[in-house]
Structure 1
Amino acid sequence: MTTTLPLRSTDIEADPVPRLPSAARLALKRGAMELKGFFRTKGQFIVIFSLPAIMLMLLGAMSGSRAGLPGITGAQILTAGMIGAGIMGTSFQNLGINIALERHDGTLKRLYGMPMPRVAYFGGKIIQVLVCMLAEVALLITVGVLMFGVALPTTVNQWLTFTWVLVLGGISCTFLGIAAGSLPKSTRGANAVITLPFLIVQFCSGVYIPFSDVPGFLQIFASIFPLKWMTQGMRSVFLPEQAVVLEPAGSWELPMVALALGGWCLLGLILCLKTFRWTARDDG
């Protein structure tokens, strides 16, 4: 005769509760997915990432030494401007188009219904923007240094200026890109609605020519947007000090650059909170 001993509570192990991935881990995974998708999409890769460097090589070769100052070439001015445009392209243009497409093809709606922290989606987008922006800026600087004699910053202050212009410009344009993704009413119009204003602002903001050569009323128009201030900050970093005479104010106005970009960071965040939707308008 056998005796069955009662089980004690300590003999029964409770099934471990599975731990959900943290928001940070999910954001990293989303970032990796976003990067793979970006570099695998030839259209995005060429237009947003490769085109600025190609334009810098072509336009820089044609601009020659037309800058009006000894020791400063048009290609060097163009390099500083294209760095600012590259920052805006990999943030504002890239995000605006992608988010619009994902909203209208139902991707955002599906993600909204998943048990995923909302911050993970935006974290993934920010990781993609950061990696692409740094790669874009490094590529443009390399082209400028090797082909057009652009000098790298030589002082700590110049590197600090480069850093905060890059950070504030990237943050403000990222927020604006997220907000702009709500403007297109269909997938067909996403590219035009986002890219056309970006091109117009580029021509007004001293990207391709010295800002002092831009007509006065367009200078006022450009001063509304962050790209003008990004290009101005980058010119202060990559151009010799005597190039400051090409600025309409006769100064780099770095405190004003910081104030304008900081203001756009705040305004961009407000616009994101007010305009972002997980579904298209016709979905209700």
Structure 2
Amino acid sequence: MTATLAAPLPSTLRLGLSRGRLEIRQFFREKDAVIFTFTLPAFLLLMLGFIFDEPLNGFPGTTVSQIFAASMIAYGILSTAFLSIGTGIASDREDGTLKRLHGTPVTATAYLIGKVMLVMVTTAAEIALVLGVGVVVFDLELPTEAGRWVTFGWLFALSVIACTLFGIAVSALVRSAKSAAAVLNLPVLALQFVSGIFVDIASLPETMVKIASVFPVKWMGQGFRSVFLPDELAAQEVAGQWEHGRIALVLGAWCVAGLVLALATFRWNDRRTA
């Protein structure tokens, strides 16, 4: 008899892409989660934009609401990648979804790839809505230079990867799905303020700015402002310039650190039942 050779298992990348497609389909079936996730950044932009819809001192033609529109992209990425993913993984672990996946060829790396794909799709839709509100309601001008869109591309990719991986890593600290939102909301809210998303970062105390500079959100907001605002507004930043090289370096470092932490802390089982 001729021995039958077993078919080789799919590669990690292929499994990750397949997992990502499944994650996206499952997400869009939850209509309430879709509506809340997509509309929250745009809603906050409308509220803050209308409250502070006034010309920016010293910069004719630019309003404070337009600065919020550019900065709110960073908020959307952080809230989806860090908060939603962290909460979702805690729920998957608690209801046994991860335990069942562990018995399949899906590896931890493939699972992470699937989560990154989910965040890429959902945040792209969020950003489109935020920019739509910014353009229609607050007269934000979309860039016409190709270089600005290239900057947007690498900013978007690095921001999503960094925040998603840290959302995955932090989910290991959450004891249950019920407590996930309470645990993860605090750092998300704090980072928005110290990173200059909801307030002018140049007006913050030096100590806060130094703390914010360690985390990616400050650099994300600064980067997206460089894409959608006039170059002269770089003077409003702490360093007086956009610092694209430093932004790429910091976000890249957070991607590497996030991957290491996510793989080191990822657990298939609920630690209360393991």
Do these two structures clear the TM 0.5 threshold for a shared fold by scoring above it?
yes
Is the counterpart of residue 246 in structure 1 residue 249 in structure 2? no
- Residue 113 of structure 1: how far off its partner (Å): 1.6
1:113 aligns with 2:86: no
Gapped runs of 5+ residues in structure 2? none
1:41 equivalenced with 2:30 (yes/no): yes
Q: How many residue pairs end up in the alignment?
A: 273
Distance 1:266 1:115, change over 3 A: closer
Residue aligning to 2:41: 52
Cα gap change, 1:213/1:112 in structure 2, threshold over 3 Å: closer, same or farther?
Answer: same
3-state DSSP of counterpart to 1:282? coil
2:187 corresponds to 1:218:
no
Q: What CA distance in whole angstroms lies between the structure 2 residues aligned with 1:62 and 1:186?
A: 37
Please report how far the alpha carbon of residue 152 of structure 1 lies from its aligned counterpart in structure 2 after TM superposition. Answer: 1.2
Aligned AA for 1:213? S
| TM-fit CA distance, 1:29 | 4.0
Query: Equivalences for 1:59-138 in 2 at 5 Å?
Result: 59-68=48-57, 69-138=59-128
Unaligned stretches of 5+ residues in structure 1 = 1-8
For residues 6-39 of structure 1, give each alpha carbon's deviation from its aligned partner in whole angstroms, at most 9, with x where no partner exists. xxx9xxx999977766655544443233223323
Distance 1:214 1:271 in 2: 30
Aligned partner of 1:6 in structure 2 is none
**Aligned mates of 1:113, 1:273 — CA distance in 2:** 18
In terms of mean alpha carbon deviation, does 28-37 or 230-239 score higher? 28-37
CA RMSD in angstroms, aligned pairs only: 2.3
Provide the rounded CA distance (Å) in 1 between the counterparts of 2:109 and 2:263. 13
Provide the rounded CA distance (Å) in 2 between the counterparts of 1:244 and 1:264. 24
- Identity in percent: 45
Matches of 1:45 and 1:235, distance apart in 2? 26
Change beyond 3 A, Cα 1:212–1:32:
same
- Of stretches 251-260 and 152-161 in structure 1, the one that deviates more from structure 2 is 152-161
Kept in 1, the 8 Å contact 2:202–2:237? The answer is: yes
Aligned residue number for residue 206 of structure 1: 196
Q: Is the aligned partner of 1:151 residue 2:141? A: yes
The aligned residue for residue 189 of structure 1 is 179
AA partner of residue 72 (structure 2) = M
- Conservation of the 8 A alpha-carbon contact between 1:80 and 1:207: no
Determine the C-alpha separation between the residues in 2 that align with 1:125 and 1:156: 29
| 1:262 positional shift | 0.9
1:135 corresponds to which letter in structure 2? A
CA spacing shift, 1:22–1:241, aligned 2, 3 Å: closer
Distance 1:117 1:224 in 2: 31
